[in-house]
Copies of this chain bind each other. A is one copy, B any other.
Amino acid sequence: MERIEGVTFSWPTRVYYEDTDAGGVVYHAQYLKFLERARTEWLRAAGLEQDRLAAEHGIVFAVTQADLRFVAPARFNDALCITVRPVAHGRVRIVFEQAVYKADATDEPLVTAHVEVACVSRERFRAAALPEFIVETLKL
């Protein structure tokens, strides 16, 4: 693993009814979706479209580890801000630090997460080396 001095990327999302549960708060599994939305948009902002990575390079990203701390609940209709910062990478994996905030309180995370994703072959779902152009992108 090589440490990266990653820049923090932010992506807004909104809490709809689909995201909540009968406890009146955002259902805990939804945060994994929010975190992935931000990683997807981080890749897109770097010029990497995952449908093309799959079609042209035969690779997809699979989450191999996710460590989540649920600090405070988000609620229906909240405007959220999801952050993503790459902090390390290996031959196959990229490691991210992520967090979820209310859009108007970005100093107190609702959720913090350590997420590792692996590059895998689309066909066999086996570990594959990160293409060089992705590694280059990470170092920007």
Contact = CB atoms under 8 A, between A and B. Distances in A.
Give the number of copies in the complex.
Answer: 4
Interface of A is mostly: mixed
Interface residues of A, number: 38
B16 A40 contact: yes
A11 to B, nearest CB: 10
Interface string A19-33: 011111101111011
A27 to B, nearest CB: 6
A33 B16 contact: yes
A23 B17 contact: yes
A77 interface: yes
B25 A18 contact: no
Interface of A: 14, 16-18, 20-25, 27-30, 32-33, 36-37, 40, 49-51, 60, 62-70, 73, 75-77, 122, 125
